[in-house]
Amino acid sequence: MDKITFLGGGSFGSALSILLARKGYDISIWDRNHNIVEDINKNRRNSRYIKDIVFPENIKAYEDMEEAIKHSNFVVIAVPSHVVRSICKSIKDILPKDAVIISIAKGIEEGTYKRISEIICEELENPVVILSGPSHAEEVAIEIPTTVVVTSKDMKYAEKIQDLFMTPNFRVYTNEDIVGVEMGGAVKNIIALAAGICDGIGYGDNAKAALMTRGMYEIMRIGEALGGNRETFFGLTGMGDLIVTCTSMHSRNRRAGILIGQGKTMEEAVEEVGMVVEGIKACKAFYELKERENISMPITDILYKVLFEGEDPIEGVRKLMIRDKKSETY
């Protein structure tokens, strides 16, 4: 069987490692946190990120990256988007040259505004596949039916990863639109954070429906402007991911937003969630990018002001509601 290494012992990486281990693959997990490595190896648990799930015996965790990655056929980058480049630099000289890289990170790089696949391709020469879609780790780990999408610049590798991950409860589609798949997965975190703020304030279903619908327009506007296909955004990585992150308490972005809407600072919310909240960095990066590209993203505008300029969330919603009237399809 192939050997698969996960770089990062977070929740989604752990869930996918369990999925593949149940299929019989030899799984390695690297993490810099000694407690996570010890918990997996000794207790067959990852109590910090994915509670009450037993790790199969064919999963082994490592603190030594070279030892974890040795002889791997597939390497899954399962770290937050802002550390993808540094991880790639770390593995450049130890990565098997025929290994396929799979990224499950969602976001763009601050400053360069590059997509995750672009970052990886700048640092490594291996083929790269992006896996995205509505897939909470907590549900994947207990085999609740889930669907995702994979994409690559060379679709034969995407098809290989489709075969690798497919199970009766984990359905994998392919999509040739790598820009659209990556953009949908990144921008939806911004809208999910805003949706959580609305929930924290105490607004109801009407506000949530409006936010999600208008949020889809923001995803499509910037996604198409950067070269994505509109139909992709109505698929799993756009609409699908938007629905799941805006409505579920599994969503760390929504949970952080709820806390901010209840009056906590951004820093307090992140500390209480206890995990990286990708929507915060995404908001800053996409705010700067849409300013450069002159793209209308009013929800992103207001969220940026709430997060980084101290705007009161209720006042922010008021400003959204009283903007100049326009056609819905404008």
Looking at residue 167, what DSSP letter applies?
B
The catalytic position among 106, 160, 188, 290 is 188
Ordered alpha helix ranges (H), the chain = 11-22, 34-38, 65-69, 84-91, 116-123, 137-141, 155-165, 178-201, 205-225, 230-233, 241-247, 252-261, 266-273, 278-293, 298-308, 313-321
DSSP 90-105: HHTTTS-TTPEEEE--
Residue 99, token pair as written in the block: 């290994």
Looking at residue 324, what DSSP letter applies?
P
Strand partners of residue 101:
75, 128
Phi and psi (nearest 5°) for 99? -75, 145
Starting from the edge strand earliest in sequence, which strands make up the sheet with 100-103, in order?
59-62, 26-30, 3-7, 74-77, 100-103, 128-132, 146-152, 170-174
CA distances from 325 to 50, 215, 321 (A): 46, 17, 9
Tokens 């075969």: give the residue.
163
Q: CB neighbours (10 Å) of residue 168?
A: 7
Q: Which residues contact 157 (CB under 8 A, 6 or more apart)?
A: 100, 127, 128, 129
Kind and range of the H or E element at 145?
A: none
Q: How far apart are CA 62 and CA 80, in angstroms?
A: 19
Say what the alpha-carbon torsion angle 219, 221, 227, 231 is, to the nearest 10 degrees: 70
Active site residue 188: yes
Catalytic residues: 188
